[in-house]
Amino acid sequence: MSELLIAPVVLLLGLLGVAVVSDLRSHRIPNLLVLLGLVLGLVGQTWAAGFIGLGHSLLGMLIGFGIFLPMYAVGGMAAGDVKLMAMAGAFLTPHDALWAAFFSLIAGGVCGLLIVLVQGQALQTLGRYWLMLRARAYFPPHAAEVAGKPFPYSVAVLLGTLASVFWLTLGH
């Protein structure tokens, strides 16, 4: 993480913050915001480290995209969330992008768990998962079950990227 300068990190976190606000308000992440972030990440990395920086940015982008893409494919998240993680990866080295995606997935799980707990549906959700384990089959959530409703995953991407920046800054 020593390769990251403070200005690109602040810029990335600012872009993610704008995405969160948009996601909370309209359940959409603007493509223009993601495109702007991709360009800024690619240009910034290239300016800072030349072709090596460009390579890091491209690989970081592909890692963020590639890790989240399967969850989009199975309906676990929206396309905007996948593109947002790719954008975050464009600001990072491949190693750092991997950590950011990892922490974002953890943050998403924690956010989902908190939503289920706050809505008072923990037993209902656990019961459905227990049935799925026993039957070795997928049972979709009921219409009234909060576990079946999308939540703004941009929050998890912001939290995960923020956690990875601080984790990696500490030298881990």
Question: Rounded to two decimals, what is the model's pTM?
Answer: 0.90
Whether pLDDT at 150 is above 90: no
pLDDT tens-digit map of 66-122: 999 999 998 889 999 999 999 999 999 999 999 999 999 999 999 999 999 999 999
pLDDT above 70 as % of the chain: 96
Assign 109 to helix, strand or coil: helix
Of 19, 23, 63, 55, the residue nearest 37 (C-alpha): 19
pLDDT of residue 172: 55
Of 79, 11, 18, 17, the residue nearest 45 (C-alpha): 11
Write down the domain spans for the chain.
6-169
Q: Does residue 78 come out as left (phi exceeding 0), alpha (psi in the -120 to 50 range) or beta?
A: beta
8 A C-beta contact, residue 124 and residue 145: yes
What gap in Å lies between CA 81 and CA 96, rounded to an integer? 18
CA atoms within 13 A on the CB side of 141: 17
Burial class, 10, CB count within 10 angstroms (exposed 0-12 / middle 13-18 / buried 19+): exposed
Backbone angles phi and psi of 141, in degrees to 5: -65, 150
